[in-house]
């Protein structure tokens, strides 16, 4: 007796809201009204660096919960925070950020496993084999603690020198041997095979000596099968942006890695709103640019004191830069409009046709003698996908050695890959990607995709 009247009331409320939504839709096409929702229209995220100590501020968390679908800990997962004394780990701040991200259904970017700054005091005074062992233990322990929960890790941060050398920055980490970066990536992959593993740096906003040094490292890693999935472009920008910002992203994407804008902020002095829009459009134009993170929420939260470089003012009001980013995201429409990279070692179609409901999958291979890395794009058709499984058959002699952003069944012959927690939902017309590494020759045929 009580259920029936409630049902009627609910139906009326739903009908009213559908009607209201329908009226709102007229003239606004598919525009979404928050950064996260508008980025999600093309399968991307829009994130913010956040600080655990600010989560009790209701203005701060109000904006965070409303606008963003990815979070990065500004300091809480760094070495000094997570391993304050050797072998003794403290995850309180990092876990606080993680649970905030999980409560929002957001992606969580891990930042940063190894960085020459913010080393704990005990590590600063170490060198040689003792330091190398401590570094690798740190990577293994922290990546294991957060296993399965991190979308992408900045495994190594800021290891390249500024200026014209294109070489490595001197540090006690670097002095343990030039192979410290690849050793860190291998340790991270072993600890958390589902996290995307990124190299992250600044002053890489166009084609320059520093970005080219990093490009050459990534190319070498891909050629030798060192696990690397993404490159982070911090994008701490002043009053201008290099004209080749987008083509620089594109040349990295063509190596077979994702690219992400990881710490965006722009000085307010000049064309702040235009520069923000230019960065946003560049990411949208590069199919492997998976998302953008701004380095803080309000101007008062920024590390760049006095430059007012963010999207919200000190009171939490939206700035002109906010509107320009939102408009740029919405201009991209509900599907990813971009074409995949056509140069470099990535081959095969990367944007499969996906008519009707269901899902489709396609594979890009980066092969070398004796092994390969496969990137598989899973695309939704005309309806949103909630959970997916991709099946394929590996050629004889091929075996999986690692899988990321999916969970596999089987390692040889007929194998299948199931979504993980953060990439099961794909918007209509959108896509997600996972990958695997194997021995022998990679799969040639188009994989099958099943929803549910
Ligand atoms: O420096 C800007 C960013 C450059 N790329 C890597 C990022 O990790 C880096 O972030 C900043 C944080 O935004 C700051 O909040 O890294 C700084 C450290 O180099 C952070 O500043 C530090 C202060 O220097 C410390 O005094 C303070 O204890 O933040 C700490 C925690 O509040």
262 CB under 6 A from ligand 1?
A: no
Beta bridge partners of 435: 375, 404
| Best of 303, 304, 310 for a ligand 1 pocket test (most atoms within 8 Å of beta carbon) | 303
Burial of 1 per CB tally in 10 Å (0-12, 13-18, 19+): exposed
pLDDT at 78: 98
Interaxial angle between packed helices 272-285 and 245-253, expressed in degrees from 0 to 180 and rounded to the nearest 10: 30
Look at ligand 1, atom 32, and give the residue with the nearest C-alpha: 75
- Predicted pLDDT of residue 86: 98
304 lines ligand 1 (CB under 6 A): no
Three-state DSSP state, 50: strand
Regarding the beta carbon of 53 and ligand 1, being less than 6 Å apart is answered no
Determine whether the shortest distance from the Cβ of 234 to ligand 1 is under 6 A: yes
Instruction: Given the residues 67, 263, 307, 433, select the one marked as catalytic.
Output: 263
Beta-strand relationship, 107-115 and 70-73: parallel
pLDDT tens digits, residue range 168-201?
A: 999 999 999 999 999 999 999 999 999 999 999 9
Q: What is the pLDDT of residues 86-108, one digit of tens each?
A: 999 999 999 999 999 999 999 99
Pocket test for ligand 1, best of 71, 72, 75 (most atoms within 8 A of CB): 75
Identify the H or E element spanning 211.
helix 209-224
Residue whose C-alpha is closest to residue 420's, from 378, 365, 361? 378
CA of 50 to the centre of ligand 1 (A): 12
Cα–Cα distance, 390 to 281 (Å, whole number): 31
Low-confidence ranges of the chain (pLDDT < 50): 1-29, 336-355
The answer, yes or no, to whether any atom of ligand 1 lies below 6 A from the CB of 308, is no
Q: Give the pLDDT of residue 212.
A: 97
Q: Quote the ligand 1 centre to 74 CA distance (angstroms).
A: 7
Ligand 1 centroid to residue 296 C-alpha, Å: 11
Given this model, what pLDDT does residue 334 score? 62
The phi and psi torsions of 408 (rounded to 5 degrees) equal: -100, 155
Which residues on adjacent β-strands are paired with residue 425? 386
CA dist., res. 96 & res. 38, Å (int)? 26
Asked if 234 and 215 touch (Cβ cutoff 8 Å), the reply is no
263 is catalytic: yes
The pLDDT, as a whole number, for residue 425 is 85
Integer CA distances (angstroms), 191 to 96, 152, 218, in order? 21, 13, 21
pTM of the predicted model as reported, rounded to 2 decimal places: 0.73
pLDDT for the residue numbered 110: 98
Length of the chain: 452
With a 6 A CB cut-off, is 75 part of the ligand 1 pocket?
A: yes
Cα(75) to ligand 1 centroid in Å equals 6
Q: For atom 30 of ligand 1, which residue has the closest CA?
A: 75
How confident is the model at residue 344, as a pLDDT?
31
Q: Which of 332, 330, 331, 307 is nearest to 319 (CA)?
A: 307
Rounded distance between C-alpha atoms, residue 319 and residue 308, angstroms: 10
Q: How far is CA 77 from CA 140, 180, 201, 388, in A?
A: 13, 20, 17, 31
């Amino acid at each position: 007796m009580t259920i029936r009247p409630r049902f009627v009331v609910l139906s009326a409320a739903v009908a009213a809201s559908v009607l209201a939504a329908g009226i709102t839709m007229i003239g606004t096409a598919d525009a979404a009204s928050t950064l996260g929702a508008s980025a999600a229209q093309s399968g991307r995220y829009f994130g913010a660096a956040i600080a655990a100590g600010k989560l009790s501020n209701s203005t701060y968390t109000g904006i965070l919960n409303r606008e963003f679908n990815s979070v990065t800990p500004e300091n809480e997962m760094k070495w000094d925070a997570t391993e304050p004394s050797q072998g003794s780990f403290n995850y309180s701040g990092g876990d606080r950020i993680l649970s905030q991200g999980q409560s929002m259904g957001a992606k969580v970017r891990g930042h940063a496993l190894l960085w020459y700054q913010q080393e704990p005091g005990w590590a600063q005074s170490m060198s040689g084999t003792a330091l190398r062992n401590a570094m690798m233990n740190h990577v293994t322990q922290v990546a294991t603690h957060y296993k399965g929960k991190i979308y992408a890790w900045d495994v190594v941060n800021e290891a390249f020198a500024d200026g014209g050398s294109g070489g490595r920055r001197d540090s006690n980490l670097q002095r343990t041997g030039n192979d410290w970066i690849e050793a860190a990536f291998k340790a991270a992959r072993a600890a958390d095979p589902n996290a995307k593993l990124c190299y992250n740096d600044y002053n890489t906003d166009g084609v320059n000596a520093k970005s080219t040094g990093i490009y050459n490292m990534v190319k070498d890693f891909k050629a030798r099968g060192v696990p690397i999935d993404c490159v982070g472009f911090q994008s701490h920008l002043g009053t201008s942006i290099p004209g080749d910002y987008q083509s620089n992203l594109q040349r990295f994407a063509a190596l077979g890695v994702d690219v992400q804008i990881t710490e965006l902020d722009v000085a307010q002095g000049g064309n702040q709103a235009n520069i923000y829009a230019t960065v946003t459009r560049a990411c949208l134009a590069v199919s492997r640019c998976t998302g953008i993170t701004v380095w803080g929420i309000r101007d008062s939260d920024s590390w760049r004191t006095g430059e007012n470089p963010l999207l919200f003012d000190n009171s939490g009001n939206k700035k002109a830069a906010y509107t320009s980013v939102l408009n740029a995201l919405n201009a991209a429409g509900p599907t990813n409009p971009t074409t995949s990279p056509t140069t470099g070692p990535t081959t095969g179609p990367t944007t499969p046709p996906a008519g009707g409901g269901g899902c489709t999958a396609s594979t890009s291979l980066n092969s070398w003698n004796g092994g390969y890395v496969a990137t598989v794009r899973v695309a939704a058709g005309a309806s949103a996908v909630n959970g997916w499984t991709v099946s394929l058959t590996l050629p004889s002699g091929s075996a999986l050695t690692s899988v990321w952003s999916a969970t596999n069944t089987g390692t040889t012959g007929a194998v299948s890959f199931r979504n993980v927690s953060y990439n099961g939902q794909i918007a209509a017309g959108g896509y997600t990607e996972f990958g695997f590494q194997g021995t022998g020759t990679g799969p040639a045929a188009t994989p099958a995709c099943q929803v549910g």
